[in-house]
Amino acid sequence: MDFGRKLKELRTQSGMTQAQLAARVGVTKSVVSFYELQERTPSPDVLIKLARIFHVSADYLLGLDKAETIDVSGLGQEDIAILRALTESLRNKDR
The 10s digit of each residue's pLDDT in 25-70 is 999 999 999 999 999 999 999 999 999 998 888 988 988 877 667 7
Q: Where do the H-state alpha helices sit in the chain?
A: 3-13, 18-25, 29-36, 44-54, 58-62, 77-92
What's residue 15's pLDDT? Answer: 94
Please give the residue that has the higher pLDDT: either 94 or 31: 31
What mean pLDDT do residues 74-81 have? 90
At residue 55, the pLDDT reads: 84
